[in-house]
Structure 1
């Protein structure tokens, strides 16, 4: 690889290339439990032309390219399983254009969502997708991220109008336009969003943004059972109440939150809700929602409009992962990520809870239940083979249950390394179509090899 590193130094400046051991280690893993692997070199392009030059050289030499944002992904997406070049896009972190009248923004891939929202706030706008982590927008598009607000605003794929993509041969293309709609050609935005770096490298994104709501109201409602909580979700959705967030946290998770935050919340299945709109409309929506949840067994409900009180109300949900991590020092967080049709949600959650209770592995359930996506959180000792095997077994059973109900193995985290083995099972012969597309765009297999496609 030494001669290739020297060649890369002729393409970029010396400060844009690193073989420092600490830097290599930082690019060897993400936030997942998957085993790390060092890249051979880390490269920091500053624009699309430099990215193109690096990718073109890598393609000519058959060197793997692994795009890297912040490493906050949860399925091993940035692990260089075959070594190669970790292409760190952190220097490409400019908000290029804000078109407030069109509700569009153009950004480089290294811009984070909080960085973008800080700039948008000056225009009375915000970017809706909130996966929890302060991820880069390029990484969020690569994994088709979603999160707590997707029930109202949609997922990452719904926000992308156009992508600038460097293909495996170094060619630079655009996948869409700035128009609100188009019937022209194959929908390339949909093809590349969620491709996890296996088809190309994103160097620019044009994204849809929204006006900041006049009023935001948040609520927390506790229930005697998970069934009652999910029934309340269905009731709110069927009623057509335009809810912005509706999250489920089970009783075991609430217990962890109380310990971590020194709170005394009810240790019961709890819904966290948020409504966006104007004052008059929200008053009606919230009143209607209260009636629905009380009819379905809600034991306690609180609503807040003050921003500080709202933040405190959502504190439990936002700090849940950290609560689990701090409750088990030395263990690693393993998160499942299935999504099922809404009418199957309560059965799926109860099935998962039963599997956890029959196991020796500690776990809890949270979910973006407004769109059928839920997670089981395990704390696993990676040095204990039996515990690792047990957690993986439960994960597989949860995925299998979701697939038998018409669901998916991953609602928002992506395929990466962990969900490859389910692709043929979930997609059938369509999986072969995906492989054909991959082969056509990346015939040498240099783009993030080992991810999405098992073989």
Structure 2
């Protein structure tokens, strides 16, 4: 997609000198380093910054921000580079702050079921650290994203139907503001009525209001029993109606994932599975042995009511891992259907009662458009993705995909949904924000102006005209 950029200022020599004095060789202007920090895995073009800073503490992040504020240099926070909507692109040049060296688990309180981590800690790193405590952190967006980045994008994933999203699991934050001030929001208490909820304001702000450097998170006990299953259906409507019945009945499933027949074909080839090529639900049940058995029998009966096939179980840890690893690699499996192409992922979410309507209409739209576009979804909470596999150098394919995406978003909004359930706005979805939020965008703009009057925090993202 073509992007209109403001004039790109060169990195001020005085600012570069100050950053080198502060960080030494942890500030780089090398072309390869800059290129890496402007590139993501979707169709968006690479847009590198003018320099990359690698701080190792909140205080160093604050010092970098003060230098950049002094010279009005754009600043882009960077976790692991797994953004899908252009969130890490340096649209106006500037300095990327790479937080990966801030990767310490600050503390864990098993008694209180919480922990505090630096922003660069990844979800897999945290769960490895927690392995011997009997606890885990359940938010699982697929990629091994940093927890700071997950908070900044209000990430979600396969476990959200039971455990919620990052919005529900962040208790507090340490944030560096545009002028270099350090603030701490929230705390460790599970409830508070003290003042404005600044934590929720920064969660999902995508680095446009401040840079998250520490996150305090809820933790959960590892379930006594875990069981996974797959079940194929003759139509996508049958599969989704099973999901709707499951949620409306209140069955506490941990995960319900949908893969359409195009995605199943791709995943069979890419991940060496042998699943029936049909719309398929992946389930996972957490709880006691008796509770898991009860959940499974209830869902199996609901699936049979909606023409579901045989349940194929994965109870061994290695079998579950293989199954969910294939789900997490769905994006790469889809791209492999057209070697040399890129993906344009979508990310709508609708009320659960409208999910079947939205998916059936979307499936028909894909077929009418002639695109290769597998569908996957965290359908337990109404969120699904299509991924259009396209040649990024073909303007006609890009135009077809964009027109489809526009129709999909407007369809979701008309059903009371959202343009993004978990990927965020970045600049890839910026044109939809006003359609979704109307006059509330002006309130968002006022918050941005108050916290970042010079507009240096991740400019060009989230808000139109930012």
TM-score by shorter chain over 0.5:
yes
Q: Which residue in 2 is equivalent to 1:383?
A: 393
Corresponding position: 1:218 with 2:234:
no
Corresponding position: 1:176 with 2:186:
yes
Corresponding position: 1:344 with 2:331:
no
Equivalent residue of 1:259, what SS? Answer: helix
1:157 alignment partner, one of 127, 148, 167: 167
Corresponding position: 1:412 with 2:417:
no
1:323-334 equivalences under 5 Å are 323-334=333-344
1:288 alignment partner, one of 271, 288, 298: 298
Shift of 1:315: 4.3
Q: Which residue in 2 is equivalent to 1:321?
A: 331
CA distance in 2, matches of 1:314, 1:68: 26
Residue by residue over 1:166-200, the C-alpha shift from the partner in whole angstroms, topping out at 9 and shown as x without a partner, is: 00011110110110110111111110000000000
CA distance in 2, matches of 1:89, 1:405: 38
1:249 alignment partner, one of 237, 255, 259: 259
1:4 alignment partner, one of 15, 19, 22: 15
The answer to whether the 8 Å contact 1:232/1:293 transfers is yes
Equivalent residue of 1:173, what SS? Answer: strand
Report the TM-score, using the length of structure 1 for normalisation: 0.98
CA distance in 2, matches of 1:121, 1:32: 33
Equivalent residue of 1:147, what SS? Answer: coil
Q: Which residue in 2 is equivalent to 1:232?
A: 242
2:310 alignment partner, one of 300, 310, 315: 300
Residue by residue over 1:94-145, the C-alpha shift from the partner in whole angstroms, topping out at 9 and shown as x without a partner, is: 0110111111111000000000000011101100100000000010000000
Residue by residue over 1:66-88, the C-alpha shift from the partner in whole angstroms, topping out at 9 and shown as x without a partner, is: 00111111000010000000111
More deviation, 324-333/178-187: 324-333
The answer to whether the 8 Å contact 2:85/2:423 transfers is yes
CA distance in 2, matches of 1:20, 1:309: 43
Residue by residue over 1:319-372, the C-alpha shift from the partner in whole angstroms, topping out at 9 and shown as x without a partner, is: 211211222221011100000011110111111111110113211111000000
Q: Which residue in 2 is equivalent to 1:47?
A: 57
Equivalent residue of 2:371, what SS? Answer: coil
Equivalent residue of 1:257, what SS? Answer: helix
Equivalent residue of 2:333, what SS? Answer: helix
The answer to whether the 8 Å contact 1:220/1:313 transfers is no
The answer to whether the 8 Å contact 2:154/2:166 transfers is yes
Residue by residue over 1:180-237, the C-alpha shift from the partner in whole angstroms, topping out at 9 and shown as x without a partner, is: 1101111111100000000000111111110000100101011111111011001111
The answer to whether the 8 Å contact 2:143/2:328 transfers is no
Corresponding position: 1:37 with 2:47:
yes
Extract structure 1 runs of 4+ deviating beyond 6 A: none
Shift of 1:9: 1.7
Q: Which residue in 2 is equivalent to 1:276?
A: 286
CA distance in 2, matches of 1:237, 1:155: 17
The answer to whether the 8 Å contact 2:23/2:55 transfers is no
CA distance in 2, matches of 1:13, 1:395: 43
Residue by residue over 1:412-455, the C-alpha shift from the partner in whole angstroms, topping out at 9 and shown as x without a partner, is: 00000111111111001111100000000000000000000111
More deviation, 144-153/297-306: 297-306
CA distance in 1, matches of 2:326, 2:64: 44
Corresponding position: 1:261 with 2:271:
yes
CA distance in 2, matches of 1:65, 1:293: 50
Q: Which residue in 1 is equivalent to 2:444?
A: 434
Q: Which runs of 5+ in 1 are unaligned?
A: none
The answer to whether the 8 Å contact 1:219/1:313 transfers is no
Equivalent residue of 1:87, what SS? Answer: strand
Report the TM-score, using the length of structure 2 for normalisation: 0.96
2:131 alignment partner, one of 115, 118, 121: 121
How many pairs were matched up? 454
Shift of 1:283: 1.4
CA distance in 1, matches of 2:71, 2:398: 38
CA distance in 2, matches of 1:315, 1:166: 35
CA distance in 2, matches of 1:122, 1:316: 26
CA distance in 2, matches of 1:272, 1:57: 49
CA distance in 2, matches of 1:159, 1:315: 23
Equivalent residue of 1:374, what SS? Answer: strand
CA distance in 2, matches of 1:286, 1:62: 57
Q: Which runs of 5+ in 2 are unaligned?
A: 1-11
CA distance in 2, matches of 1:315, 1:13: 38
CA distance in 2, matches of 1:403, 1:291: 33
Shift of 1:290: 1.1
CA distance in 1, matches of 2:354, 2:162: 20
